[in-house]
Chains A and B, each alone.
Chain A
């Protein structure tokens, strides 16, 4: 039964691959010591009508506000779900449309803090909520939107537990090819 379902999904759906660039703005305390930084990413998607599953990779490196060789690097790998809300069709045909898409992803951030030759590494689970404007024309899809990253960390501290949530927001634009 399951192979049949998967096979039918693969026949009715379509793949896409894309990339994006943008700017990430630190928040929740990071903004005191870090500047905004460029964010780069790539994603693979599988479309089912208005729905899309994505496997996404993103990277950004936050630098200290004062001149320093210190850098906080974040690589994030996530699995997400997107839902398109089509608001209009272009005159060029049914394959061309535009609208908004909302996305939710869960993943894992691989972190490293580096100062000269000193380095700390770590990881933190992440959740990403995104909202994009998109325009699709034939096989290409362009998008512009926001990603809201939340990284969660926690550790026991005596009889209590310390929980730390770190929030970052990214403004990004992307292009994708729909096969």
Chain B
């Protein structure tokens, strides 16, 4: 019968398809971790000719919540990560008359996961804080994020494919701590942040140690 011929044709067809590599890397993106927080991980960046280092120290608990301690330029940050979101502890403290006032202390949404091209997220925080007995300060902190593109990013640390570009707009209204920021970040599968552009400042990865 045709069994031998059929087998040969199918084996060739299968091998050809598997080796042809005409896939769109959809599965690759679907199973990749775009924000790894493994202890010992270390990211070295070039920021306008200066070196900046981020590293994961380990696990901790802040405000009754398990988190991961990340040193960003040697200053500690506290992050939480679940399958559906990444949050960072925001701690806004204003000093008036020699006394500290906590304007905001919240685990603020940074990324909604998983990343899918076109997905958006937003979160707002509102509160009023009385400072120096009579001065009522309205605190507003809002963040809106959007997965804007899938790019390849070439850096000194290598070329990273299938990076998600996340555009973020953040507005903080909190007395003298008020600011507005717009920035774009490129997150690479299995690596995390490889590039960040804020206004004219650019931060690009020069070395990455995945930790253990």
Asked if A and B are interacting partners, one says yes
Q: What B residues does A152 contact at CB under 8 A?
A: 17-19, 21, 23
Q: What B residues does A32 contact at CB under 8 A?
A: 31
Which of B7, B114, B152 is close to A81, meaning CB atoms less than 8 Å apart? Answer: B7
- Which A43-79 residues have C-beta < 8 A from chain B? 48-51, 53, 64-68, 70, 72, 79
Chain A interface residue number, banded? 35 or more
Secondary structure type dominating chain B contacts: mixed
CA–CA, A72 to B27, complex, Å? 9
- Which A151-168 residues have C-beta < 8 A from chain B? 151-158, 161-164, 166
Which of A29, A68, A118 is close to B84, meaning CB atoms less than 8 Å apart? Answer: A68
Task: Say yes or no for A122: interface residue by CB 8 A criterion.
Answer: yes
B122 to chain A, nearest CB (A): 12
**Is A164 touching B18 in the complex (CB atoms < 8 A)?**
no
CA–CA, A123 to B22, complex, Å? 8
CA–CA, A30 to B31, complex, Å? 5
**Is B26 touching A111 in the complex (CB atoms < 8 A)?**
yes
**Is B161 touching A162 in the complex (CB atoms < 8 A)?**
yes
**Is A154 touching B21 in the complex (CB atoms < 8 A)?**
yes
**Is A124 touching B10 in the complex (CB atoms < 8 A)?**
no
Q: What A residues does B18 contact at CB under 8 A?
A: 106, 125, 127, 150, 152
CA–CA, A127 to B29, complex, Å? 20
A72 nearest in chain B by CB position? B30
B194 to chain A, nearest CB (A): 12
CA–CA, A118 to B82, complex, Å? 20
Q: What B residues does A80 contact at CB under 8 A?
A: 10
CA–CA, A66 to B11, complex, Å? 39
**Is B26 touching A113 in the complex (CB atoms < 8 A)?**
yes
Q: What B residues does A53 contact at CB under 8 A?
A: 6
- Mark each residue of chain B from 146 to 167: 1 if its CB lies under 8 Å from any CB of chain A, else 0: 0100101010001111100000
Q: What B residues does A68 contact at CB under 8 A?
A: 83-84
Task: Say yes or no for A105: interface residue by CB 8 A criterion.
Answer: yes
Q: What A residues does B26 contact at CB under 8 A?
A: 111-113, 120-124, 153
CA–CA, A66 to B81, complex, Å? 12
**Is A9 touching B21 in the complex (CB atoms < 8 A)?**
no
**Is B2 touching A51 in the complex (CB atoms < 8 A)?**
yes
Task: Say yes or no for B20: interface residue by CB 8 A criterion.
Answer: yes
Q: What A residues does B3 contact at CB under 8 A?
A: 48, 50-51, 81, 83
Q: What A residues does B207 contact at CB under 8 A?
A: none
- Mark each residue of chain A from 121 to 156: 1 if its CB lies under 8 Å from any CB of chain B, else 0: 111111100000000000000000000001111111
Q: What A residues does B158 contact at CB under 8 A?
A: 157-158
A172 to chain B, nearest CB (A): 20
Task: Say yes or no for B120: interface residue by CB 8 A criterion.
Answer: yes
B147 to chain A, nearest CB (A): 7
Q: What B residues does A178 contact at CB under 8 A?
A: none
Q: What A residues does B114 contact at CB under 8 A?
A: 33, 64, 70, 113, 115
- Which B161-175 residues have C-beta < 8 A from chain A? 161-162
A161 to chain B, nearest CB (A): 8
Q: What B residues does A30 contact at CB under 8 A?
A: 27, 30-31
Q: What B residues does A153 contact at CB under 8 A?
A: 21, 23-28
A130 to chain B, nearest CB (A): 13
A93 to chain B, nearest CB (A): 23
**Is A66 touching B31 in the complex (CB atoms < 8 A)?**
no
CA–CA, A80 to B158, complex, Å? 40
B152 to chain A, nearest CB (A): 7
Task: Say yes or no for A3: interface residue by CB 8 A criterion.
Answer: no
CA–CA, A53 to B208, complex, Å? 50
